[in-house]
Structure 1
Amino acid sequence: MTRIRPFEVHIPQRDVDDLHRRLAATRWPEQGPGAEWERGVPLGYLRELVAYWRNGYDWRAAEAHLNSFPQFITEIDGVDVHFLHVRSPEPGARPLLLTHGWPGSPVEFLDVVGPLTDPASHGGDPADAFHVVIPSIPGYGFSGAPTEPGWDTERVARAWAELMCRLGYGRYAAQGGDWGSVISLRTGLVDPGHVAGVHVNMLVTVPPPDAGEPDAADAERLRFAAAFEEDGAGWRHIQSTRPQTLAYALTDSPVGQLAWIWEKFWEWTDSGKVPEDAVDRDRVLTNASVYWFTATAGSSAQFYFESNHTTENFVRTWGGPWPLEAPVGVASFPRDAVRAVRRYAEGILPSLTHWTEFDAGGHFAALERPDDLVRDVRAFCRTLDW
């Protein structure tokens, strides 16, 4: 059961042809009233994007790029876990565990693998090299889907601890955003003897009862959070309560799956008019294609249900407290879906040692601002007791 098996992505041609057939046969709705993006992805924009997905985007090139990274599968706790494992050429490299969120996958980290594993070839210091491990959360992408309840963030964290043990890493750092932030923090809690530090690029901070009046900057962050909860959290409520119903629509319609994902890349990135102002179109289409070809719309949404129906409520699932023994670093990007308040963070993260405020970037830091993220991870990890 502990065997680690090599893996390569290969989507059968019949599945690629089926995607193209479905895209060509899309039944389109009418465009609603109101400003563009106000009520969702605009019809004209999505039609053009779908035409490109069918006629311009090259899945086989994306597949070959994915397969240029060493990939593996191992069964942990009854579920197959897919992961990239890229070892550094530097003999003194340290292990680094990277975890994606929703609607992400390991695809979002591809641009940072080279600089992290081989800094000397990317203008960096060889002393900053890492062996990189990038798993797919169970129910996402090429990992297996859990068939029993209970796969919440803590169970994934325990699986990650087991994965790093199987790979022979006695000491490692963990990094992530979105669900990857929560999972990384929980990994630090469940595996304190082996986690040297945790770095996150998203942190949920909720004002404590005795918070007092915020300053102007923090008040703006709180206003943003309130507006987001009122107008921008519909996807979370659906995935946390009725994931099975949603699965029928998104598993049957590639356009529905694409729109469900693409909206978040518009809403959560530091983009201008369209997401492509912040992220590469082909890379996001690769990410969406992984969801489509693996039919994981439903199983990825089930993770919301599991993680928000544990003994802890939603606030504690995302907002801690996080009494880690290991140091914690935070990279805060201004256009993230969540904007952390440092003084609240200090109340839930007693081991907070590193905080960086960036002037640009959003939720998908490894895609939008890979150089900034790499620099911040390096700076934080230099301070750790390995």
Structure 2
Amino acid sequence: MTDAITPFTIAITEADLTDLRARLERTRWPDAETVEDWQQGVPLETAKMVVHHWRTAYDWRRCEAALNAWPQFRTQIDGLGIHFFHVRSRHPQAKPLLLTHGWPGSVLEFLNCIAGLADPEAHGGTANDAFHVIIPALPGYGFSDKPSGTGWTVERIADAWAMLMDRLGYDRCLAQGGDWGSPVTVMLAQRHPDRVQSIHLNLIAAVPQDITDPTAEEQVIFDAIADHKRWNTGYSTQQSTRPQTLGYGLADSPVAQAMWIYDKYRFWMDCDGDPRKAMSLDALLDNVTLYWLTNSGTSSARLYWESFHQVRYPALELPVGISLFPHESIRPLRRWVERLYPNLIYWNEPAKGGHFAAWEQPEIFVSEMRGWASAFKG
């Protein structure tokens, strides 16, 4: 095992891009849905529109250049190669900030936030708002290695993140996460409280199980959660029980991979039913293409098999910040969250944004990081 940190540059071969376009050209389409909306999934005409743009107009090299504009590295931790961004601020008082993505997201979620976090004076802030930014790719995602055995749970990932921060020379840090990044961040704080000063979450499953006579306000939330479970969680059932079976389609068909993700854009983004209202189709395809080119559809899904049925949100005493974006799938009440996190130092409900908060609204996300960090007095 080596502690070496090696500079990394993304360099997809032209053969891989040619193969992608050829596969898109040979797509065998299913018959159209029998409804007039998204009830049965991504409509055929929408899928054809996305794939046509992907095949004829999309440019991966643009995305590759944007990623390579920031310093990237790889290092071996617990036998696995981990890909990460590490952008040090020029400000000596900058705070180390560890950002963890989820599924079907990637390190791309934070790309447009890096400049505002690391160089705040050039982006509406002050030197006191500066962060050293660390963005690792989860095991099995993107350019991190794929685990070849079982056991890469959120707890093990949290331990790996603690080792990564130690290797980078940070004794203490702030940590933020959404989606899978949320339980990873919580477990990092629970298992390594000496390393984490405060955490921030934009997804929090603080839903109490002991309310027998809910108020009208609580009932609205319970109804929304029930609707979400009824109509929007089929993906998690499949990924948490049969990721390998699902993976054959995701590995062989770029259209299958694209629609598996595009469906989530539609329902999880703050987009009025059309993901292109949240961001450009090129940006949406950047993330899809990253999954395709790294063949990480199956390996990323296995995180559900490893941890979905065992996800825990233990109570924490350390300072916690929450940003509750309006189109997040779970929107707990503040009093529910305070039962888990009595030292809740920051709570805000931004006006715009969904599940992919940093990706959809980078300026708002940067503002939330500054607000939370300012509330933390440690």
TM-score, with normalisation over the residues of structure 2? 0.97
Is 1:42 the equivalent of 2:43?
yes
Distance 2:341 2:229 in 1: 23
Distance 1:349 1:90 in 2: 31
Stretches of structure 1 that go unaligned for 5 or more consecutive residues are 309-313
Distance 2:64 2:109 in 1: 14
Matched residue of 2:99: which SS? strand
2:90 paired residue number:
89
Residues 325 and 343 from structure 1, CA distance in 2 versus in 1: closer, same or farther, beyond 3 angstroms?
closer
Is 1:335 the equivalent of 2:348?
no
1:77 paired residue number:
78
1:350 paired residue number:
342
Distance 2:351 2:3 in 1: 44
The CA RMSD over aligned residues, in Å, is: 1.2
1:317 to 311, 332, 343: 311
Task: Map Cα deviations across residues 38-81 of structure 1 (whole Å, 9 max, x no partner).
Answer: 11011111111111111111101110111001000000001000
Distance 2:41 2:96 in 1: 40
For the 8 Å contact 2:32–2:44, the answer to whether it is kept is yes
Q: Structure 2 matches for 1:183-194, cutoff 5 A?
A: 183-194=184-195
AA aligned opposite 1:349: Y
Distance 1:176 1:197 in 2: 12
Distance 1:150 1:363 in 2: 27
1:295 paired residue number:
295
Is 1:384 the equivalent of 2:376?
yes
TM-score, with normalisation over the residues of structure 1? 0.95
Matched residue of 1:197: which SS? strand
Percent same amino acid among aligned pairs?
45
For the 8 Å contact 1:257–1:288, the answer to whether it is kept is yes
Distance 1:98 1:292 in 2: 23
Per-residue deviation, 1:330: 0.8
Task: Map Cα deviations across residues 200-254 of structure 1 (whole Å, 9 max, x no partner).
Answer: 1111122231x35333333222111111111110000000000000010000000
Per-residue deviation, 1:325: 3.5
Distance 2:13 2:33 in 1: 37
2:53 paired residue number:
52
For the 8 Å contact 1:22–1:253, the answer to whether it is kept is yes
1:227 paired residue number:
227
The aligned length equals 377
Per-residue deviation, 1:337: 1.9
1:360 to 352, 363, 366: 352
AA aligned opposite 1:294: T
Matched residue of 1:101: which SS? coil
Per-residue deviation, 1:369: 1.7
Per-residue deviation, 1:159: 0.2
Runs of 4 or more above 4 Å deviation: none
Query: Which range moved further: 140-149 or 341-350?
Result: 341-350
